[in-house]
Amino acid sequence: MATGHPDDAITHSEEEYVETEDGTRHRRAFVDRYPDAARIVRICLGISFVAFAGGALFGLIQALHRTNVLRIIPSSDYYTLLTGHGVLMALVFTTFGIAGLFQWANTRSLGISPPSSTLTAAWLGTMTLGTLLAAGTIVAGLFDSIPASADVLFTFYAPLKAHPLFYVGAALLIVGSWLAGASYFLQFREWRSEHPDARIPLQSFMVLTTMLMWYISTLGVAVEVVVFLIPWSLGLIQQVDPLLTRTLFWYFGHPVVYFWLLPAYVIWYTVLPKLSGGRLFSDPLARVVFVLFLILSTPVGFHHQYTDPGIASGYKFVAMTNTFFLLLPSLLTLFTVVASMEHGARQRGGTGYLGWLKALPWEKPAFAGIALSGIMFAAGGFSGMINAGMNINYLIHNTLWVPGHFHLTVGTAFALTLMAVSYWLVPQVTGKRLQLYGVASLQPYVWFVGMVLMSNAMHRAGLAGIPRRTAEPQYDQFSFQAVVGSVAEMRVQIAIGGTLLFIGAAMFLAVMLATWTLGRPNSQLRVNGFLPEPMSGAEDSPQVLDNLKLWAAVAIVLVALAYGLPLFDMVADGLFTPGSLPVPV
């Protein structure tokens, strides 16, 4: 493994420390330059990691329960925990983590502090209140003495009904994220007034395009919850149409995976090249990729409904075609990320066709975690292409294959990237040097091995027909036939993998806790926040790429084309018919 840095000028900029007139050096880390923004990032990451801790514990209990290795809850409570796991991981850990990352990225790249502390307090407060309401109603389901529950899983399909406060909580979490987006846009506008002709800095460009996509896509779930589910759960309207509400959910349900993924891409494009010892290959290509995601992410949601009755096959084919085009920006990302890493490795003295891989800093936790998450994502992308094909989807829809797939994408590409970048970022937003460095260096590998075990076995269990979302995947009437391996061996791998993942999560949380509580404030950091300029910069790219209004308009037109007719078909017989009365769980 390489030692020393041949390209010190790139990785060790003067920017973190400045000489003052009397000759002393002052640290200029993110927390020193933007104390307000650093505080917001700390709060967001803190809440995100608490949610992650809860989610990881529930995940472990599920993995051991459904493989029959260890059972500490009755099977009927399994779904309460599963709801908790899905909501805490997929909605809270992600949304708060992303809000923190984006606050950092937008502030760093624009070089100005967040505009209004009232707006900041409003979005943080709204998101936190929403989280507390949703999490509270879920946990209440474990106690018979509390007359509230929300055992509806994180997809909350009607007519299963949760306590109204669960839906209110979900709505507040989303409204809070809208306000956070408004804050990023205001920050950008302030920057723009001082730089009328400059290109949008790359990280800010990525943040803004992602948030535009988020506004367009959350509209579906917001209408579902506010117009239908809240009034229905309160008894203000009698019935809702299960297919319509479900369709509104999946209108949001696919782009949300890009809302998770794009922040990881922000890190892969802008931070990973630096951590590899080099610089990003191409700024314009990165912009093209984000624009493609903005316009293509939403008109694909029907690929989650291939097996739904009541939706014409033609609409499903259109969604499938769009989905395959959505592969393009991810394939382009693969190219750029690998090329940038190779460039970094060669800067560090790496040679050979694949020999350069050895020159990368695999012993550094931030680099190792991000690079491993990229490798897992390549595998997840492959299994995703299979999900997206309509005929194979019929084989694996709602089987364990599906959680096998998304634990590679959101569960690793996003989650491990966030953990790994925290090893680099948390020191910069706290001013404290990373503690338990050895534990941190090992942690990405523990997660990686755990995920290889759990995910491969879940994929194969899905091929054998074992369903997801069930406490007892064995039935009196028949038994499952494994296609590859044996069902008993898959169970063992899921149980061991889940345990390793839990250990990996605990290691990460221990490092964060130690850094936050034991790290000395104002210590000399081992990292710095300088990000080198890309090899080909934005100035060579067409100005139109930065026209956010244009791309938002294109995205809206495509959404209208993909969803206009199908939604019209569904509501033609009445907004609430065929309707269902609530079924409390």
Partner 1 sequence: MHVHRFEKLWFGASLVLIVAFMGTIVYGAIGPGVAMVGDDGGTIDSTVVANGNFERADNFRAPGVYASSDGEGVEVYVVARQYLFNPGTAQPIEVPVGEEVTFHVTSADVTHGFYLAGTNVNTMVIPGQIARFDVTFEETGEYGIVCHEYCGSGHHTMAGQLHVVPQSQFNATAGGEN
Nearer to ligand HEM, 176 or 263 (CB): 263
For partner 1, the closer CB: 143 or 475: 475
**Among ligand HEM, Cu ion, partner 1, none, partner that 56 touches (CB below 5 to 8 angstroms by kind):** ligand HEM
Binding of partner 1 by 303 (CB under 8 A): no
How many residues would you count in the chain?
A: 585
Clarify whether 254 is annotated catalytic: yes
Out of ligand HEM, partner 1, Cu ion, none, what residue 254 binds, judged by CB under 5 to 8 A for its kind, is Cu ion
| Cβ-based neighbours of 266, under 8 Å, separated by 6 or more | 101, 105, 203, 206, 207, 210
Alpha helix segments (H runs only) across 25-34: 30-33
Catalytic pick among 33, 279, 346, 468: 468
Q: Phi and psi for 160 in degrees, rounded to 5?
A: -65, 135
Q: Which does 86 bind (CB under 5 to 8 A by kind): Cu ion, partner 1, ligand HEM, none?
A: ligand HEM
Q: Please name the helix (run of DSSP H) or strand (run of DSSP E) that holds residue 2, with its range, or none.
A: none
Task: Choose between 93 and 249: whose C-beta lies nearer to ligand HEM.
Answer: 93
Give the x/- contact pattern for partner 1 in 210-229, rule: CB under 8 A.
--------------------
The answer to whether residue 544 forms part of the interface with partner 1 (CB under 8 A) is no
- The residues in 430-469 that bind partner 1, with binding defined as CB under 8 A, are 463-469
Residues 225-264 close enough to bind Cu ion by CB under 5 A: 254
CB of 584: closest distance to partner 1 in angstroms? 10
Nearest to 278 by CA among 526, 6, 4: 6
Cα atoms in the Cβ-side hemisphere of radius 13 Å centred on 292: 18
317 given a catalytic annotation:
no
> Residue 130's closest CA among 92, 81, 74?
92
Question: Which CB sits closer to Cu ion, 160 or 501?
Answer: 160
Q: What is the DSSP letter of 410?
A: I
| CA gap 184, 178 in Å, rounded | 10
Question: Which range touches partner 1 (CB under 8 A), out of 162-170, 235-243, 367-375, 413-421?
Answer: 235-243
Can 5 be counted among the known catalytic residues?
A: no
312 binds partner 1 (CB under 8 A): yes
Q: Counting contacts by CB under 8 A, is residue 324 touching partner 1?
A: yes
Q: Which of residues 371-400 bind partner 1 (CB under 8 A)?
A: 385, 389-392, 394-395, 397-399
Q: Which two tokens stand for residue 402?
A: 């599906």
* b/e 135-144 (16+ beta carbons within 10 angstroms → b): bbbbbbbeee
Q: Please identify, using beta-carbon distances, which residue of 246 and 254 lies nearer to Cu ion.
A: 254
What is the distance between the alpha carbons of residues 415 and 297, in angstroms, rounded to a whole number? 20
334: region left, alpha or beta (phi > 0 left; psi from -120 to 50 alpha):
alpha
Q: Is 262 exposed, middle or buried (0-12, 13-18, 19+ CB in 10 A)?
A: buried
Binding-site ranges for ligand HEM (CB under 6 A): 56, 59-60, 62-63, 66, 82, 85-86, 89-90, 93-94, 153-154, 403, 407, 410-411, 415, 468-470, 498, 501-502, 505
Q: Is 364 in the site for Cu ion (CB under 5 A)?
A: no
Residues that bind Cu ion (CB under 5 A): 254
